[in-house]
Homo-oligomer: A and B are copies of this chain.
């Protein structure tokens, strides 16, 4: 059994039980963003969380153990994603990449926004011209060291 098999079991069980990620997140006791990432094989659960998830989805013991092992991350089958929703985010990196770079360097100097010490909040933004998806990403700024 591999972590991808655990992910597949969770997804199948979630569909069968008609659960929502936000409900699952409450069980796990973390945000819906982190919980979804963890259950889709991108984050590591601690023992308590893994046991809860195991119960919720009826997972075998081996799967519960695998949820506590650091996974090989990366959730996409190709370097340039084909799914239109995910592609739009890739397009934002392609079109706005150098813009992110310029504005962060102007504000902070040479360094990066951490993708590890990072949190994300995704919510609906009501709008009369059609509701909007609003995503706020917050990552620690890490300056390059001189030595």
Binding site for B on A (CB under 8 A): 1-2, 8, 12, 15-16, 20-22, 30-34, 36-37, 40, 42-44, 62, 65-66, 69-70, 72-120, 122-125, 127, 129-147
With A105-B70, A108-B131, A132-B138 known to touch, is A115 a contact of B100 (CB < 8 Å)? Answer: no
A99 touches B42 (CB 8 A): yes
Number of copies: 10
Q: Is the interface of A mostly helix, strand, loop or mixed?
A: mixed
A40 touches B75 (CB 8 A): no
Shortest distance from the beta carbon of A33 to any chain B beta carbon, whole Å: 7
B97 touches A114 (CB 8 A): no
Partner of A141, one of B78, B133, B141: B133
